[in-house]
Chains A and B, each alone.
Chain A
Amino acid sequence: MSKAAWSKIGLTILGWLIGAMFFYPIFYMAITAFKTEKGAYSPDIFFIPTLESFGEVFSRSDYFLFVRNSILISFGSTILCFILAIPSAYRMAFYPTQKSQSTMLWMLSTKMMPAVGVLIPIYIIWQWLHLLDTVTGLIIIYTLMNLPIAVWMSYTYFSEVPKGILEAGRIDGATATQELWHLLRPMTMPGLSSTALLLIILAWNEAFWSINLSSAKAAPLTVFIASYSSPEGLFWAKLSAASLLAVAPIMVMGWLTQKQLVRGLTFGAVK
């Protein structure tokens, strides 16, 4: 075989080996979820799978409350983000002024406030407003956290729309609302929906605010999993089952949206 073919085989082995190493903890978690608690402590890969642990996780009276909270918080904040972001993105993309660029930079710079810097005041303000341990309280935080990303991403997708199309629409007498719905929506839908996925992932996995601002009523899955940090007895299989359920749907979303992830998280600095 030629040298090129050998090096391709070598690269294939190396690339897959490294991939396997990175994925190993997730793989281990996934198979342990299907073991019994006793069997979980042996490293066997071959075993009779059981759904016992999932049953135990589901039977916790509050499990579905955590799931409900996670869904409400991540979807709620994402929808709210778009409602607030789209008008501004539309304005800056199609009717830019001198101030548009600095406004955008200012918005992105609000992302650079470290959460820990404002933890104490937010905790106290949330206490005053009775927002502690409420779904609304977390939705507000996550919306503010993700809003700059939503504006930035919507703006870049709107900017990609050829100007001529909107002008043609306007000549045909389309109103601004019709323009948005009939022209912009179909053209920017793929971009905006992957942005939505990104925002859902970020909100779903956020653990600083959820741990500090929620306890029993509004706690999402991040907090539920954290409750396994003080375990009693055998708990690997239950931890794995609960973790797998919390992680799997989001990981699929993440894989689908990996390209937009770079755009969204670096604010376009890396292309």
Chain B
Amino acid sequence: MSVKSPPAALTEESSAPIQKIDPAEKWRRLLMWPSVVPLLLWMIVPLAFTIYFSFIRYNLLNPAVSGFAWFQNYQFLVGDASFWPAILNTLLFIGAVLIITVVVGVLLAVLYDQDFFGKNVAMLLVIAPFFVMPTVSALIWKNMIMHPVYGSIALFLQNLGIAPVDWFADFPLVSVIIIVSWEWIPFSFLILVTALKSLDQEQKEAAAIDGAGPFTQFRYIVLPHLEKAIGVVVMIEMIFLLSIFAEIYTTTGGGPGNATTTLAYLVYALGLQQFDAGIASAGGILAIVLANIVSIFLVRMLAKNLSQAK
């Protein structure tokens, strides 16, 4: 509710006939430069180089490797034994984290939308994981929570008489999914609980008077209201999750085998471990294409938002 969107004057100037250009306007144009120029460079230069590198033979250690490679890098990338597993892992990973964070996020948002004792403090506890740096989350979970002998989960299962699980050996991808979900549930929760605040309470009360139970209310009032916010969560998370790296780097290093190698990790391994900048750039291009498909939708939605708010 508090976000005041663009001022009403946003397009007024365009409709008014231009009579004379204010001399100060020339100077005001310069004010855009400090942010536009760096961002323009940031957008164009690395992208141009990624595209260029993806079409040449380029090894960081061996300058003798050179020349135009046409689509060979892409062929090598697709032919790499870890490529298809990495694509599959990326899809599984992003899909699972999205489902978990959105479902849990919605449930938590509904719960914390109710009034109870100490609600605001309890909410702080739920959002806390989002502020923990990724390397800390990964190592605390790997060593102290999921350790097969001393970890909290193992001790808990032992008390119940269930055999403990060696998480990172037997379920490596699941383990990474659990850690990343723990980090990102607070994000979806925070956004959804904020969105829920703008729900018209009278609508719910009216529905309750008409005899709608909590589930009917949830299905026909709460969920439709959250639709847009869920869309935002999904799109923003997808872009971030595509580059998830630290959690994998510090826990599994992409292994065992290539069980936790995602596209992001594969690009890192090809480029900065095997020093093949050409093939790694081809992988980078693939990631950019994937992210762009998502961001087209996101930008369209933001554009609608900006113009609606007029």
Contacts and interface: CB of A to CB of B under 8 A. Distances in A.
- Band of interface residues on A: 35 or more
B160 interface: no
Nearest to A101: B306
A253 B267 CA distance: 33
B306 A115 contact: no
Contact of A107 (B35, B232, B298): B35
- Which among A32, A100, A250, A263 has the highest number of chain B CB atoms within 10 Å? A100
A60 to B, nearest CB: 16
A47 to B, nearest CB: 15
Contacts of A124: 49, 53, 60, 277
A202 to B, nearest CB: 10
A231 interface: yes
A124 B194 CA distance: 42
Contacts of B283: 116
A53 interface: no
A151 B35 contact: yes
B43 A25 contact: no
A44 B25 CA distance: 68
- Band of interface residues on B: 35 or more
Interface stretch (B61-69, B106-114, B200-208): B106-114
Contacts of B228: 269-270
B122 A15 contact: yes
A205 B132 CA distance: 7
Contacts of A20: 125
B215 interface: no
Contacts of B251: 229
Contacts of A165: none
B6 to A, nearest CB: 6
B170 interface: no
The binding surface of chain B is classed by DSSP as helix
Contacts, number: 342
Contact of B271 (A22, A120, A231): A120
A167 to B, nearest CB: 13
A75 interface: no
B236 to A, nearest CB: 7
A22 B126 contact: yes
A172 B102 CA distance: 53
A23 B128 contact: yes
B162 interface: no
B299 A118 contact: no
Contacts of B1: 271
A199 interface: no
B107 to A, nearest CB: 9
A100 B10 contact: yes
A16 B118 contact: yes
Interface string B173-217: 000000000100111001100110010000000000000000000
Contact of B145 (A28, A107, A151, A211): A28
A239 B31 contact: no
Given A100-B10, A101-B307, A229 B250 contact: yes
Interface string A179-193: 000000000000000
B15 to A, nearest CB: 10
B152 interface: yes
A211 B306 contact: no
B246 interface: yes
B302 A90 contact: no
A29 B3 contact: no
A114 B268 contact: no
Closest 7 A/B residue pairs (Cβ): A121-B49, A19-B125, A207-B246, A254-B131, A112-B295, A118-B46, A19-B122
14 contacts: A22-B125, A91-B31, A96-B13, A103-B32, A110-B42, A112-B239, A114-B239, A114-B264, A116-B242, A117-B50, A147-B39, A156-B5, A159-B6, A251-B131
Interface of B: 1-7, 9-11, 13-14, 25, 28-29, 31-32, 34-36, 38-39, 42-43, 45-47, 49-50, 53, 60, 108, 111-112, 114-119, 121-141, 143-145, 150, 152, 155, 182, 185-187, 190-191, 194-195, 198, 228-229, 232, 236, 239, 242-243, 245-246, 249-251, 263-264, 267-268, 271-272, 277, 280-281, 283-285, 287-288, 290-292, 294-295, 298-299, 301-303, 305-307
